Amino acid sequence: MRTHKVIQTRQLTESTFVVRLERNDLNFQTGQFILVGWNGIDRREYSVYSGEHDDYLEVLVREVDGGKVSAKLKKLKAGETVQVDGPFGFFKFSPDVYKVKKFLFVATGTGISPFHSFVRTHGGMEYRLVHGVRLAEEAYDHHDFEAKRITLCTSGEMKGDFYGRVSAYLAENEIDKDTNCFLCGNSVMIYEVFDILTAKGIPVSNILSEVYF
């Protein structure tokens, strides 16, 4: 475990924010997560939001109602410190290992974080990102993705590209069978989308998922 100094926190909505930490030579592969928090049990998993080549380390965090660590992270100020452990996880993404470089990224809420790291690290990829949120204001840093490659699904208002959940959007749309699919976010979405993708003929070996809760 190492101590990392906070460079800044950037508020994206009332409940969601990006914490930028000093990198301190921490190496990770885009898609992996780190443990962030304080000694003892006040540590939680967060996907790395920044790219492999950035000279800082970022995480995207939503303050959960009644949540212990996310509420403490929200109050962090520049110059304060947190403990970081890792990286961990097999939700890794390196385009070189795929014969067919066609990618579908499906995220709910802050589950967009590893995909943000992917696009910061690997430019010029053929990907489609389907991001499910309740309100359009939760389109976290969408300007960092190519506009033509992103579909915002809003379930709480008709302000996105699609009104409804990501599962409804994917059920209605064609997906090539050789697409490499990455799913990240809440477990309900991941189970639903997994069933939709396999029913469309996508092999299980082409689907990788990261469950947040």
CA gap 36, 46 in Å, rounded: 7
Spatial contact of 93 and 29, defined as CB atoms under 8 Å apart: yes
Interface region with ligand FAD, contact rule CB under 6 A, candidates 54-62, 120-128, 129-137, 139-147: 54-62
Q: Which of 17, 19, 20, 45 binds ligand FAD (CB under 6 A)?
A: 45
For ligand FAD (CB under 6 A), the number of binding residues is 21
**Residue whose Cβ sits closest to ligand FAD:** 67
CA gap 132, 111 in Å, rounded: 9
Residue with tokens 């939680």: 44
- Long-range contacts of range 67-72, CB-CB < 8 Å, 24 or more positions apart? 68/42, 69/36, 69/37, 69/42, 69/43, 69/44, 70/44, 72/37, 72/38, 72/42
Number of neighbours of residue 123 by Cβ within 10 angstroms: 8
CA gap 68, 45 in Å, rounded: 13
Task: Return all residues near 143 (Cβ < 8 A) that are at least 6 apart.
Answer: none
Q: Is residue 50 involved in binding ligand FAD (CB under 6 A)?
A: no
Q: Is residue 212 involved in binding ligand FAD (CB under 6 A)?
A: yes
- Compute the C-alpha angle 73/93/161, nearest 5°: 75
Q: Is residue 138 involved in binding ligand FAD (CB under 6 A)?
A: no
Interface region with ligand FAD, contact rule CB under 6 A, candidates 17-25, 50-58, 59-67, 189-197: 59-67
Question: What is the smallest separation between the CB atom of 61 and ligand FAD, expressed in angstroms?
Answer: 4
- Antiparallel, parallel or unpaired: β 33-37 and 2-11: unpaired
Interface region with ligand FAD, contact rule CB under 6 A, candidates 39-47, 115-123, 130-138, 151-159: 39-47
Question: What is the smallest separation between the CB atom of 97 and ligand FAD, expressed in angstroms?
Answer: 21
Q: Is residue 33 involved in binding ligand FAD (CB under 6 A)?
A: yes
Q: Is residue 67 involved in binding ligand FAD (CB under 6 A)?
A: yes
Pick 66 or 124: Cβ nearer ligand FAD: 66
Q: Which of 19, 20, 21, 44 binds ligand FAD (CB under 6 A)?
A: 44
Pick 101 or 134: Cβ nearer ligand FAD: 134
- Binding residues (CB under 6 A) for ligand FAD: these are 33, 44-47, 59-62, 64, 66-71, 110, 113, 210, 212-213
